[in-house]
Structure 1
């Protein structure tokens, strides 16, 4: 849903100025583009009824509103996600051109699918406090005001969340060029059905997590090990051959792959690499989460 145009000029309207940051907060909280846009819509409606001149900081007010709306929506979504069929992964934000203004505005910072997946371990307020501090670099007095909590409580939430994230997260500092080159090799191997090349590019403890959402078949548990993951890609090639086509794209700000079957989008795949081999693959196959991606094969 598109936010209505502001009544003040776009260049000077505080909501329009803050919108990229507000979207990044809402999306990182919710992991679904439409939900994030709905939060911004609700925030805009409140903003349109507010006397901006009476606010000390329009941006602080907007961040507070978006954060609290996101917390409320995430609380409601938690029950749905507990009943979700299989593994829940965020809706991927896909850019075919990584250098567009939208990429710079929306995909900067911590946004990877792997990171978003780990954030699902946190409660709504804990997630908000962690993101505001660790990703958006707000001070604790600001976070306390935005969440309606004490500074001590916010510090405790951020500390607890940081420990949980670090325990669950595997992080490698890999230059994008290296990530891209490795993924290009994997794509070529998968596209040609080169079983040995696929397996050589996977680490010994590699895992694949798929999200079909009950709409399409997916694995109820992570697929672990290079042999099993290789067989998955190889079997698809053996069965469908040239009907399967891969395309490079940036998924949540990182190099990833779009897979098309018979010219239609079948999955968006995000990858974690240590710079030499692939250690994790996150494959989003739920059709509802692929709606924002070109449905037919880009030329």
Structure 2
């Protein structure tokens, strides 16, 4: 009697694109800094994926990451002229979480996502940025990166090395527990909400700077605002002029504690903070209304 063969496992019904979507979005968003642009890249990638016979691929992940990376590079090149003509400082569109976790808050977006980090990445060229992200954030090996970018391993190593040096030179980084970051911002929020000028200034480092992005749509500073006195004056003057019309709310902004500011119950800015654990060293204030469209426009309860 011939023993029966073991049953074959049922083919997986889970679409690899769906499974990998958080990672693909993470790559596209870090490359482009704008949710809509990242979503457009994913839509284009999905259309290509839907026309592809997955059974002919050695690795669905490698194929999809390659497509998303190359589409992101092409789109970033196309956006170059637009960003060069941008009025004032360009900051990424913030990804904001109030209470519920969104799909974009999955593990693939947990690390190296801060507004400060993406602001520094703007110094890199498209391919250099892609190589750096694939290696330093997504931990791909150089042979994989070379295949994804269509470059040699040596070229990819050189790009990552050069990008790492430029990022390190331009970036001030502190390892601060999120709970400490959160507590510091709570104190800052309380001081700003009450117009406590001395408390605001005491929470800012001597070389603190504020970079604002109004996009030419709303007023912003043409240069970074530097020093605790000048930054304090900005928050204090707003309180003096509008008082209780200004309300702050804590939120996670690109995975880190930040503040949303509402004026007359309408969203006015999303503010990301860099802290050394004791004082605030940098504030990135996104005020361009186009970049605040994904945040509740009215004050949440």
Common fold: TM-score over 0.5:
yes
* In 1, Cα distance between equivalents of 2:98 and 2:108: 14
* In 2, Cα distance between equivalents of 1:293 and 1:143: 34
4, 12, 21: which one aligns with 1:7: 12
Residues 98 and 250 in structure 1, CA contact (< 8 A), matched pair in contact too: no
Listed one character per residue, the Cα deviations across residues 84-138 of structure 1 (whole Å, up to 9, x for unaligned) are 0000000000001275664234531110000000000000000000000000000
Residues 244 and 260 in structure 1, CA contact (< 8 A), matched pair in contact too: yes
Residues 29 and 35 in structure 2, CA contact (< 8 A), matched pair in contact too: yes
Residues 98 and 253 in structure 1, CA contact (< 8 A), matched pair in contact too: no
Instruction: State the partner residue of 1:199.
Output: 201
Q: Against the structure 1 CA distance between its residues 7 and 91, is the aligned structure 2 distance closer, same or farther, given a 3 Å change threshold?
A: farther
Residues 132 and 163 in structure 2, CA contact (< 8 A), matched pair in contact too: yes
* In 2, Cα distance between equivalents of 1:102 and 1:72: 23
Listed one character per residue, the Cα deviations across residues 230-273 of structure 1 (whole Å, up to 9, x for unaligned) are 00000000000000000000000000000000000000000000
Instruction: State the partner residue of 1:30.
Output: 32
* In 2, Cα distance between equivalents of 1:132 and 1:21: 11
User: What TM-score does the superposition give when structure 2 sets the normalisation length?
Assistant: 0.95
Q: Which has the larger radius of gyration?
A: 2
Q: Report the secondary structure of 1:210's partner residue.
A: strand
Q: Against the structure 1 CA distance between its residues 165 and 291, is the aligned structure 2 distance closer, same or farther, given a 3 Å change threshold?
A: same
Residues 22 and 109 in structure 2, CA contact (< 8 A), matched pair in contact too: no
Q: Report the secondary structure of 1:296's partner residue.
A: coil
Instruction: State the partner residue of 2:94.
Output: 92
Name the count of aligned residue pairs. 293
Alignment gaps of 5+ in structure 2 = 1-8
Q: Report the secondary structure of 2:124's partner residue.
A: coil
Residues 22 and 103 in structure 2, CA contact (< 8 A), matched pair in contact too: no
Alignment gaps of 5+ in structure 1 = none
* In 1, Cα distance between equivalents of 2:11 and 2:213: 37
* In 2, Cα distance between equivalents of 1:263 and 1:147: 46
Q: Against the structure 1 CA distance between its residues 72 and 110, is the aligned structure 2 distance closer, same or farther, given a 3 Å change threshold?
A: same
Q: Report the secondary structure of 1:258's partner residue.
A: strand
Listed one character per residue, the Cα deviations across residues 168-220 of structure 1 (whole Å, up to 9, x for unaligned) are 00000000000000000000000000000000000000000000000000000
* In 1, Cα distance between equivalents of 2:247 and 2:11: 42
Residues 103 and 253 in structure 1, CA contact (< 8 A), matched pair in contact too: yes
* In 2, Cα distance between equivalents of 1:224 and 1:155: 36
Residues 90 and 116 in structure 1, CA contact (< 8 A), matched pair in contact too: yes
Q: Against the structure 1 CA distance between its residues 286 and 106, is the aligned structure 2 distance closer, same or farther, given a 3 Å change threshold?
A: farther
Q: Against the structure 1 CA distance between its residues 102 and 48, is the aligned structure 2 distance closer, same or farther, given a 3 Å change threshold?
A: same
Residues 86 and 211 in structure 1, CA contact (< 8 A), matched pair in contact too: yes
Residues 262 and 299 in structure 2, CA contact (< 8 A), matched pair in contact too: yes
* In 1, Cα distance between equivalents of 2:16 and 2:223: 45
- Deviation of the 1:78 alpha carbon: 1.1
Listed one character per residue, the Cα deviations across residues 15-46 of structure 1 (whole Å, up to 9, x for unaligned) are 00000000000000000000000000000000
User: What TM-score does the superposition give when structure 1 sets the normalisation length?
Assistant: 0.95
Listed one character per residue, the Cα deviations across residues 141-172 of structure 1 (whole Å, up to 9, x for unaligned) are 00000000000000000000000000000000
Instruction: State the partner residue of 1:81.
Output: 83
